[in-house]
Chains A and B, each alone.
Chain A
Amino acid sequence: MSSIVSIKDLSKTYNSGFEALKNINLDIKKGEILALLGPNGAGKTTLISTICGIVSPTSGSVTVDGNDIITDFRKTRAMIGLVPQELTLGTFDTVWGTVRFSRGLFGYKRDDAYLEQLLKDLSLYDKKDSEIRALSGGMKRRVLIAKALSHNPEVLFLDEPTAGVDVELRKDMWKIVNELKSKGVTIILTTHYIEEAEEIADRVGVINNGELLLVEQKVHLMESLGKKQLVIELKESLAKVPSSLDKYNIELSDDGMHISYTFIVKDEETDISDLLQEITNSELHLKDLKIVQSSLEDIFVDLVKEK
Chain B
Amino acid sequence: MNFMAIKVIYFNEMLRFWKTLFQSIASPVISTALYFVVFGSAIGSRIEDIDDVYYGLFIVPGLTMLSVLTQSISNDSFSIFVPKFTGTIYELLSAPVSFYETLIGYVGAAATKSLILATIILVTASLFVELNIAHPFWMLGFLVLTCISFSLFGFIIGLWADNFEKLQIIPLLIITPLVFLGGSFYSISMLPPLWQKVTLFNPVLYLVSGFRWSFFEISDVGVGLSLLMVLLFLSVCIALIAWIFHTGYKLKQ
Chain A residues within 8 Å of chain B by Cβ, number? 32
A84–B90 alpha-carbon span in the complex (Å): 8
A165–B209 alpha-carbon span in the complex (Å): 60
A156–B71 alpha-carbon span in the complex (Å): 40
Question: A33: shortest Cβ distance to chain B, in Å?
Answer: 20
A-B contact pairs, 5 of them (CB 8 A): A54-B93, A82-B90, A90-B88, A104-B8, A106-B96
Q: Which of A73-81, A248-256, A274-282 contacts B (4 or more CB under 8 A)?
A: A73-81
A196–B95 alpha-carbon span in the complex (Å): 28
Known: A106-B5, A107-B4. A53 touches B12 (CB 8 A): no
Question: A180: shortest Cβ distance to chain B, in Å?
Answer: 18
The contact string, 1 if C-beta is below 8 Å from chain B, for chain A 115-144, is 000000000000000000000000000000
Residues of A within 8 A of B253 (CB): 14-15, 55-56
Question: A108: shortest Cβ distance to chain B, in Å?
Answer: 7
A34-86 interface (Cβ within 8 A of B): 52-56, 73-75, 77-78, 80, 82, 84, 86
Choose one: A53, A75, A102; the contact of B93 (CB below 8 Å): A53
Query: Is the C-beta of A88 less than 8 angstroms from some C-beta in chain B?
Result: yes
Choose one: B87, B88, B94; the contact of A52 (CB below 8 Å): B94
B87 touches A84 (CB 8 A): yes
Question: A85: shortest Cβ distance to chain B, in Å?
Answer: 10
Residues of B within 8 A of A100 (CB): 8
A54 touches B252 (CB 8 A): yes
The 9 closest A-B pairs by CB, nearest first: A104-B8, A88-B87, A74-B96, A77-B96, A52-B94, A105-B95, A107-B2, A54-B93, A107-B4
A89 touches B90 (CB 8 A): no
Query: Is the C-beta of A174 less than 8 angstroms from some C-beta in chain B?
Result: no
Question: A50: shortest Cβ distance to chain B, in Å?
Answer: 10
Residues of A within 8 A of B93 (CB): 52-54
B252 touches A56 (CB 8 A): yes
Question: B102: shortest Cβ distance to chain A, in Å?
Answer: 10
A55–B89 alpha-carbon span in the complex (Å): 12
Query: Is the C-beta of B91 less than 8 angstroms from some C-beta in chain A?
Result: yes
Summarize B's interface: helix, strand, loop or mixed: helix
Residues of A within 8 A of B143 (CB): none
Query: Is the C-beta of B97 less than 8 angstroms from some C-beta in chain A?
Result: yes
Query: Is the C-beta of A109 less than 8 angstroms from some C-beta in chain B?
Result: yes
Query: Is the C-beta of B92 less than 8 angstroms from some C-beta in chain A?
Result: yes
B94 touches A53 (CB 8 A): yes
Choose one: B12, B86, B90, B96; the contact of A101 (CB below 8 Å): B12
A99–B86 alpha-carbon span in the complex (Å): 17
A97–B8 alpha-carbon span in the complex (Å): 10
> Using a CB–CB distance below 8 Å, which chain A residues touch chain B?
14-15, 52-56, 73-75, 77-78, 80, 82, 84, 86, 88-92, 97, 100-102, 104-109, 147
Question: A59: shortest Cβ distance to chain B, in Å?
Answer: 15
Residues of B within 8 A of A108 (CB): 4
B41-94 interface (Cβ within 8 A of A): 86-88, 90-94
Residues of B within 8 A of A82 (CB): 90, 94
Residues of A within 8 A of B248 (CB): 56
Residues of A within 8 A of B95 (CB): 77, 102, 105-106
Question: B107: shortest Cβ distance to chain A, in Å?
Answer: 17
A55 touches B252 (CB 8 A): yes
A91–B85 alpha-carbon span in the complex (Å): 13
A89 touches B88 (CB 8 A): yes
B88 touches A88 (CB 8 A): yes
A90–B95 alpha-carbon span in the complex (Å): 17
Residues of B within 8 A of A90 (CB): 86, 88
Query: Is the C-beta of B135 less than 8 angstroms from some C-beta in chain A?
Result: no
Choose one: A54, A86, A91, A101; the contact of B94 (CB below 8 Å): A54
B96 touches A78 (CB 8 A): yes
Residues of B within 8 A of A147 (CB): 91
Question: A302: shortest Cβ distance to chain B, in Å?
Answer: 32
